[in-house]
Amino acid sequence: MTRALQIRLGQFSDRGIKSTNEDFHGALIPEGETLALKGAAFAIADGMSSSELARLASEYAVKNFLNDYFATPDSWTVRHSAERVLSALNRWLCGQGASLHDPSRGMVTTFSALVLKSTTAHVFHIGDTRIWQLRDTTLEPLTQDHHSWASAQRVYLNRALGIDTHLEIDYRNLPVETGDRYLFTTDGVHEYVPPLQIKHLISQHNDNLDAACRALTAAARAAGSPDNLTCQLLCIDDLPLPDADSVFRELTELPFPPALEPGMILDGYRILREIHASPTSQLYLALDEDSGKQVVLKTPSVNFEDDPSYLERFRHEEWVGRRINSSHVLKVIEPVRRRRFLYHILEHLDGQTLRQWMADHPHPPLAKAREILQQIACGIRAFHRLDMLHRDLKPENIHIDRHGIVRIIDFGSAKIAGIAEIASLVTQTDLLGTKNYTAPEVLRGESATTSTDLFAFGVIAYELLTGCLPYGERLGRELNAKWMARLRYASARNARPDLPVWVDGALERAVRLDPKRRYVVETELIYDLRYPNPEFIEHPVRPLLERNPVGFWRGVALLSLFGNLALLYWLRHG
């Protein structure tokens, strides 16, 4: 069995010599799949003492962060989830303060949180609460205080939740080791207990973390701390480090189904006919004998029965399809009966792929192309909103049903950002796309991003309108800087003279070789295909420096050489 994340936790909070305790702390350690997908979360906050609502602010921040973080999609990264939650919390706190029209009653609090997911610690910090890492005998602060001392007695916060609608969050991540300890303190503790004493007190109470926290707060009070005193201490007893045998057993828990023929029944599904077969999978039209509905069964190819990377991608494909809820993405149906074999259940679509549609409709009207591309863009957006990349967008993976509804299909190459954060022995690669639709940066070995999906979308748009590819058949080769310099965009107007110049400009920008110069989101391309962009009308021809930088600088060098030779001749012969 794969080991699980195991954590011991200790905590203590005391109002100290103050009449009320404006600190708050909390932790949420889930179990099972949630622990694996989202991790465990810990937080500490210290309400700003000058505010009457300081305690309410710190309590609200901690409780809602812990609750809302675990309500974010499993596919999101820890950073995406936490920053979205903190931004929403900050807006609410600022709004409450503004509605009171009284600065002394504003809801302002410092905040520090740590999320432990798989074998990584993710730290989020605003203010002057503090998180420390104690590894062996080394105590290191993981956060930097956001405050300024006005005098020996007065300190002002530079950053905190509830101060400003513009929130700047410190974030860092670092690997975790078994035996690591993480300490959370408010300034009432760490301003009065030096690091050497902190280490000593923790080592004295290593088996009782609650006692260690009590000892730290007691030491701060004895040292004259006039503030609230709060500590939270956790120790990593075990990490979810899988071994190869357990990973393979988990991936092969369900056996591959046998070869299926019409009339056979598999787990209550009667096979009607084979729809499609490829080297990687088979699709069968089947009848659910309980509901009477037609569905599609996708089965893995026996060619990959011993390939962990393939098995994990096949499993993730179902995971993706059951979490994306979009009318422009194929739905994966959750099974109602226990499965005895490995397969997916997909909704049945009556229609054809975009590749087949393009063969039937060469050079479609611009209005029809826009309609199709708009629907593809909606499907891409559904992936990207969940921190997922499709990574294999092409006409074969886009379906148009008999009602004209366009859907993205086949998620076998999808990358899930939240899953990618989990330590795994299974090696995956970003180079999973198809020749001519894979972005050049991925061909060069760089990681896939949303921009790589948008490059494929641009190639599809170009091909839909022209029947050609923007760089011909040259993108499938292994790219290097020299080869990249030779690649030239072929104007869409070469194949479709009826296309406006500004449409060609939009297509050219969508498939630029430099990802920084492409569209940022898919809706930008859709907009520029509908409305003339002045940039493409006023400057239909790009400067030589942009179109051919190598040729430009070669020309500059030659001119410089001729100029120097002419100058030398003049100096000698006057």
Q: Read off the tokens for 453.
A: 């999906």
Cβ atoms within 10 Å of 515's Cβ, excluding its own: 18
- Residue 508, in any domain of the structure: yes
> H helices of 182-281, where?
187-190, 195-204, 209-222, 244-251
Burial of 419-447, coded b for 16+ CB within 10 Å and e otherwise, reads bebbebebebebebbbebbbbbbbbeeee
Is 147 in contact with 127 (CB distance < 8 Å)? yes
Same domain, 127 and 210: yes
Higher pLDDT, 323 or 548: 323
Q: Is the pLDDT of residue 15 over 80?
A: yes
Q: How many domains does the chain have?
A: 3
What six digits make up the tokens of 277? Answer: 């077969």
Tell me the mean pLDDT in the region 24-44.
95
For residues 35-54, give the mean pLDDT.
90
Instruction: Mark whether 280 and 229 lie in a shared domain.
Output: no
- The enclosing H or E element of 26 equals strand 23-28
pLDDT at 540: 46
Q: Per-residue pLDDT tens for 483-537?
A: 777 788 999 999 999 999 999 999 999 999 999 999 999 999 999 999 999 999 8
Same domain as 280, residue 239: no
- pTM for the full predicted model: 0.84
Same domain, residue pair 110 and 152: yes
Q: Are 319 and 189 in the same domain?
A: no
CATH number at residue 161: 3.60.40.10
Tell me which amino acid residue 499 is.
L
Provide the pLDDT for residue 1: 43
Average confidence score pLDDT of the chain: 89
pLDDT at 101: 55
Neighbouring CB atoms inside 10 A of 4's CB total: 13
What are the tens digits of pLDDT across the range 531-572?
Answer: 999 999 855 455 655 556 666 667 777 787 777 777 776 777
Per the domain annotation, does 574 fall within a domain?
Answer: no
Q: Which of 189, 223, 244 is the last residue of a domain?
A: 244
- Identify the pLDDT of residue 431: 60
Percent of the chain with pLDDT over 70: 89
Q: Looking at residue 307, what is its pLDDT?
A: 86
SS3 content of the chain, % helix, strand, coil (to 5): 40, 20, 40
The CATH number of residue 493's host domain is: 1.10.510.10
CATH of the domain at 294: 3.30.200.20
What was the pLDDT predicted at 542?
56
Assigned domain for 549 exists? no
Q: In this structure, are 179 and 283 located in the same domain? A: no
State which of 332, 347, 362 marks the end of a domain.
Answer: 347
Quick one: average pLDDT of 22-27? 96
Tens of pLDDT, residues 433-487: 788 899 998 888 888 999 999 999 999 999 999 999 999 887 765 566 677 777 8
228: nearest Cα among 129, 308, 326: 129
For 178-209, b/e burial (b = at least 16 CB within 10 A) is eebbbbbbbbbbbbbbeeeebbebbeebeeeb
| Rounded average pLDDT over 204-228 | 95
Provide mean pLDDT across the span 292-300: 95
The answer on 337 and 279 residing in a single domain is yes
Indicate whether 373 belongs to any domain. Answer: yes
Q: What is the rounded CA–CA span in Å between residue 111 and residue 327? A: 40
Looking at 347, 378, 404, the residue that finishes a domain is: 347
Same domain, 44 and 148: yes
519 token code pair? 């569209």
Q: pLDDT value at position 248?
A: 59
Instruction: Tell me, yes or no, whether 135 and 212 share the same domain.
Output: yes
In a domain, 1, yes or no: no
Q: Strand, coil or helix: what is 126?
A: strand
Give the CA count within 13 Å in the CB-facing half-sphere of 157. Answer: 22
Q: Is 143 exposed, middle or buried (0-12, 13-18, 19+ CB in 10 A)?
A: buried
Structural domain including 316 reads 256-347
